[in-house]
Structures are given as structure tokens and as C-alpha cells.
A and B are shown apart, each in its own frame.
Chain A
Amino acid sequence: MYVAVKGGERAIDAAHAWLAEVRRGDPSVPELSLAQIREQMAIAVHRVMTEGSLADPDLAALAVKQARGDLVEAIFLLRAYRTTLPRFGNAVPFDTGRMAVRRRVSATYKDLPGGQVLGPTFDYTHRLLDFALAAGGVDPPAAPEAPAAVEPMASVAGILDHEGLMEPERADEAGSEPFDLTREPMGFPAGRDQRLQALVRGDEGFVLALGYSTQRGFGGTHPFVGEVRMGEVPVEVEIPELGFAVEIGAVTLTECQMVNQFRGTAETGPRFTRGYGLAFGESERKAMGMALVDRALRAEELGERAIHPAQDEEFVLMHADNVEASGFVQHLKLPHYVDFQADLDLVRRLKAEWEARRATPPAEGLKEAAE
């Protein structure tokens, strides 16, 4: 229980003034522009967009700047901002097959159509600090170019689908709209649409750790990265006045198709099962963790015993959101003076009784206990 406490306005104002000052840091150091954050801290910006549920790099960069680089705080700022705007409608669902691919790798097929395209990856870097960057002032040479292939990048899931070795995806249920966590509270049992939305919004560290737990034996599904792809995907929006959809822009997405082993059932026979991850921007770790957890959460649907944390949808979905988690943990800082007074009285009384018992002779103590 918390009690309204008045006072402290002056202290709060002074604290916020000091916050503004430390946010700026040493004034002899040039101030960061949003464009600098957007361009040079891009992956932090992408994470804030994904978990903040708002695809706008400039607003995410502003949130990162305002939050002094505290990404969970920045995510909170972006979530709060979106509540100030009306919703005009829904976009046509992404067709990730139309992605202008900058990266696409598969761990299941070496020579798949379109090939293995590494893109601008940290993979294979030596993870040695680069002191040339510390010195700064030198622009990197332009990245090499090669003739672009015209070969379409077929999805790996589609290849397996052709052979009947992959479970088919379910179509939309006629007449139903996907669950929307921004409009409806979390409910259980959750459909896959609700789970996927919650996982996109979910904390990268939490989702990654749960995915990792499945690899270590807590609900393992023997996953293979069928495919990870990253690039720009068109955004089409239906113009209500005109009754047709227009391609108004594009967003960068990272998509992970995880292929998992499955024994099959009497009805379906042996085939692979799917886990799916999707995130804004270059967010490969998040998309992969999400794909592992998505598959783990399908345990019941696939007739598996759900006994591990990553398979427990209430555990996963109720604790994945870092804005909620941070809010509830941090509310412990709010005044709990009355609560604590009550506890304090209780502990004092118990301690006094305990001391009184210790001071009395054992025989009488036994009798007292027997009463």
C-alpha cells in the first residue's frame, strides 16, 4: 500500500535540472545530434523501435538521447509517445519475400537459391577493440560492390514446404482480427498472434535467455536456422477513401525462420515444425531468440509436455515486457512508509515475545507451547 505524500516539489525540480545537466555531460564535448545517434548508434535505435513498438528511427534516436542511452527508459518514452497519436488503420501484412535483402544466411542449405549473403555483420570480426575508431576522423573506404543477382531469394521454409517436410502455416481465421496488446490486456490461453506480438515487444535479454535455456535442455526443440534475413520490406497501407493500397514507404526488418525437429503425430506424420522471429531494423539476436521461444511456446499445440519455463506462456508473456517489469520493480522506491511501519511494529512485537520466551524457564515454555 502506498500513501499520497505531499512535498518535495523543490527537490524534484532541482533533481530534474541536474538530470538535464548530466544528460548534456561535459559542455566542452560537442552535443550529439539525433542524426548522429540514428546513423552511428543504429542498432540501439533499432532495439528501441522494436521493443518500443514504433518504427520511427528519428523518434527512437530522440528517446535514446533523452534517456542518456538507457534503452529500457528510451523504450518507455517511445511507448508513451505513441499513446498521444490516433491510429489511422492497419498496414497490409509484410510480404518478407519482397525484401530487398542485405543479409541472408541459412544453416540448413549451403547452396540455396540466392546464396549466403553475409551483409554488414559482426560475425567473423575478431572482437578486438579498434583504436583507429578511438582516434576518429578517418572515413572508412567504400564497401566493395558486385553485380547484383537477379535470382529471387526463395525462403527456406518454402523449400521444405514443397517436399511436404514442413508443417504448413495456418491461414487467417476468417473474419477475425489479430490480437492487439496495445488495445487488449494480456489474456490466457494466448493465441500465437498474441504471443508473437508480445515477443516482438519483449525484452531482448529476457527473450534471448529463454531461447538459450531451450538449447541447454529446458524445453529443447533441436533448432536449425533455416534462414535469417535482413533488409527493407515495403509498407503498403490501404487508403480508406480510395479502397486500394499504396506503397507509402519501407521499413528494415530482420526475420528468422527456425526449423525444429518433430516426431509427428498419427495424423500428420514426421515433419519439421516452425519457430518465427521478426524485429525492426538489424536485430538478429532478438529475432533468433524470439524464434526459439515462439517454438517452445507451441508445446501444447504440438502435443508436447510443457514443463520448462520457456514453454510456460503465462511465465514468458507476463514477464517479457521490460517497461512493465521495470515499472513494478522500480515502484519499490515509492514511499511505503505506512506498510513499513506496520511491518516494523509486527517485528518489534514478535522480537519482544521471543525475548520473553527465552527468559522464561523451559518447563513453563513447554506448558505454554502445549496450551
Chain B
Amino acid sequence: MTVPRNDVPTGTEARRRWMGLLARGATERLESVWAALPDAPAYDRLRGPEIGLVMLRGRAGGTGARFNVGEMPVTRCTVRLADGRVGHGWIQGRDRRKAELAAAFDALLQDDEARAGLEASLLAPIAADLDGAHAAAARKAAATRVEFFTLVRGDNPK
């Protein structure tokens, strides 16, 4: 996810992005940003938070027909703010509190004004955390890349 920090996208693509960031952010970060909201809204829980499974799928040969690989626990939650906006949280794993926070933030983020603030305080830092973790692993992998060299025999002409 490398959306420019100041360019807040709108519509479905924007929601896809923020729901993905909320799902992958650390619970502690969601919790602390929620606690620091000047006017954290009240909400009703419409569903969950509840734990279930999704079946993960692969493709034969990586690109062919689908097959079932195995399941993964997920937690989902749906909340409704007083103004009627509905937020959905879907996260990997079994952290009910995180799913609830993700749903609440999803509802909040549908408001353009709230989104501008949360982009800076919540979404951009999560994206930075994720990029940082990926980059560190990529640099370690790069250090294990093999540099081949060919042995030159003494009788070879220069």
C-alpha cells in the first residue's frame, strides 16, 4: 500500500485501503488512537465481535484452478454510529477488541472530515509500520542473494 500520504482517495478503493490498514495495524495503535479521540462516538454493536474461519485457497501451479489449502481464524464485527453509519471490521486472528475497533473506525472514516484527521494519526502510521517490517525482511533477504562469479582458468587469454 503506497498511497501518497496527503492524497486521500475516495470511494470503494479508499475504503478497501483503510479497512485493510485497520485489519493489519497493531491493536495497541488502534486502541491508543481511539482513546485519544476528542469526541469518540458511541456505537451499537450490530454483529459480533465473533470468531470464525475463512478457507484459504491456492491455485494449482500458482496460476491454475483453485484448490483449498486450509482455514484461517478471522474475527468480524459490525457497528452502527448514532448517525446511522455502519462500520465493518474484519481481521486476521482472534482479537475481538481489534475487530470492534476496526469496525468503529471504519464507520468514522466514512466521514470526510474525520478521515482527514485519522489519515495522519492512524492510517499513515500503520502503513509506515507495515512498510518498515517488509523493508527490513527484504533487506535481509537481499543480503542472502547469491552473487555468482566464474572462475577464470590460468591459460585463458586475457
Interface set of A (CB-CB < 8 Å, partner B):
49-50, 52-56, 58-59, 82, 85-94, 96-97, 100-103, 110-111, 115-120, 143-149, 155, 157-158, 169-173, 178-182, 192-194, 196-197, 200-201, 231-232, 235, 237, 239, 241-242, 244-251, 255, 257, 274, 276, 278, 280
Contact = CB atoms under 8 A, between A and B. Distances in A.
B84 interface: no
A235 B66 contact: no
B68 A178 contact: yes
A116 to B, nearest CB: 4
A115 B69 CA distance: 28
A169 B56 contact: no
Contacts of A50: 70
Interface stretch (B2-10, B29-37, B134-142): B134-142
Given A49-B70, A237-B74, A247-B23, A143 B143 contact: yes
B92 A118 contact: no
B149 to A, nearest CB: 12
A180 B55 contact: yes
A207 to B, nearest CB: 15
B129 interface: no
B23 A249 contact: yes
A117 B88 CA distance: 39
Interface majority SS (helix, strand, loop, mixed), chain A: mixed
B19 A246 contact: yes
Given A88-B74, A247-B24, A274-B61, 6 more contacts: A86-B53, A110-B148, A146-B139, A169-B64, A169-B65, A237-B54
B90 interface: yes
Contacts of B68: 178-182, 193, 197
Contact of B142 (A90, A145, A182, A231): A145
A268 B94 CA distance: 49
Interface residues of B, number: 53
Contact of A88 (B54, B67, B134): B54
Contact of B57 (A59, A90, A97, A244): A90
B65 A157 contact: no
B97 interface: no
Interface string B56-93: 11111111111111111110101000000000101111
A91 B57 contact: yes
20 contacts: A55-B56, A85-B53, A88-B74, A90-B57, A91-B72, A116-B146, A145-B139, A148-B138, A169-B61, A169-B62, A169-B63, A193-B66, A196-B67, A200-B69, A232-B134, A235-B92, A257-B62, A274-B60, A276-B60, A278-B58
Contacts of B94: 56, 58
A100 B134 contact: yes
A171 B65 contact: yes
B141 A87 contact: no
A15 B146 CA distance: 54
A109 to B, nearest CB: 11
A144 B52 contact: no
Given A146-B145, A235-B72, A157 B62 contact: yes
Contacts of B54: 87-91, 235, 237
B12 to A, nearest CB: 6
Contact of B139 (A82, A147, A246): A147
A53 B71 contact: yes
A85 B56 contact: no
A73 to B, nearest CB: 18
